[in-house]
């Protein structure tokens, strides 16, 4: 027997929440790698980025496995690509650190405990595991097929409750924080005094299975 009358609550977090900060930095790194791939003519199907980001007090750690263009790798004075003990190309951290700082600055962190200018950023990216790379590459070589590594895709379902086809509680939770972030970045009124980190929570009453 399905419930027809109930309360449903959803929570949203702002762009300054640590989870969102880490997601933003990881996304920026993916974008960086693809930009460099386009510049160098590297086949985009050969690009690999499995990036994990951790943020704590004035410190960011970026780790994971990648396959990137030569412009993102370390080279010796003769122009040869450096390799680690496992034989993987060594990543040059400079551009990765730069995009991470830019993301933190755009989010708005300029406080003692977390500041885009002074935060220590550690890049621990290394070459992709040959076993994972082989599985992905073999499938990619076959036309119309796309290989999968050890990454998963999470999905839900659409509904007609809102224009974004999202359930009403999460839709309005997101909207509240979007409006606050816009006001904060524009420096409008009391919102200009807010910090980047925030949460919102919305409870919607459902009657006869519909948002009331």
User: Measuring CA to CA, how many Å separate 83 from each of 32, 64, 86, 128, 131?
Assistant: 21, 16, 8, 13, 18
Residue for token pair 């993987």: 88
- Tell me which CATH code domain 18-140 carries: 3.30.300.10
| pLDDT value of position 158 | 87
Using DSSP, state whether 86 is helix, strand or coil.
Answer: coil
Per-residue pLDDT of the chain (212 residues; tens, 9 = 90+): 467 889 999 999 999 999 999 999 999 999 999 999 999 999 988 899 999 999 999 999 999 999 999 999 999 999 999 998 888 889 999 999 999 999 999 999 999 899 999 999 999 998 877 766 766 666 555 555 666 555 556 666 789 999 999 999 999 999 999 999 999 999 878 888 889 999 999 999 999 888 88
| pLDDT value of position 153 | 60
Using DSSP, state whether 94 is helix, strand or coil.
Answer: helix
What are the extents of the domains in the chain?
A: 6-14+155-211, 18-140
| pLDDT value of position 123 | 98
Residues 6+ apart with CB under 8 A from 84: 90, 126, 127
108 contacts 184 by C-beta, under 8 angstroms: yes
């Amino acid at each position: 027997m399905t419930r027809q009358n109930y309360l449903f609550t959803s929570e949203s977090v702002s762009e300054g929440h640590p989870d969102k900060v880490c997601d933003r930095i990881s996304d920026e790194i993916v974008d960086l790698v693809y930009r460099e791939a386009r510049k160098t003519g590297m086949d985009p199907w050969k690009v690999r980025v499995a990036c994990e980001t951790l943020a704590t007090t004035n410190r960011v750690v970026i780790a994971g496995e990648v396959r990137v263009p030569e412009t993102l790798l370390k080279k010796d004075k003769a122009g040869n690509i450096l390799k680690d003990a496992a034989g993987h190309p060594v990543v040059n951290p400079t551009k990765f650190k730069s995009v991470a700082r830019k993301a933190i600055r755009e989010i708005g962190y300029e406080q003692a405990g977390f500041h885009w200018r002074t935060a220590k950023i550690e890049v621990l990216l290394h070459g992709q595991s040959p076993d994972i790379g082989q599985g992905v590459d073999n499938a990619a070589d076959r036309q119309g097929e796309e290989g999968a590594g050890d990454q998963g895709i999470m999905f839900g379902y659409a509904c007609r409750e809102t224009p974004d086809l999202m359930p009403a509680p999460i839709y309005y939770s997101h909207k509240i924080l979007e409006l606050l972030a816009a006001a904060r970045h524009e420096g409008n009124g009391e919102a200009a005094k807010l910090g980047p980190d925030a949460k919102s929570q919305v409870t919607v009453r459902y009657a006869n299975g519909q948002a009331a």
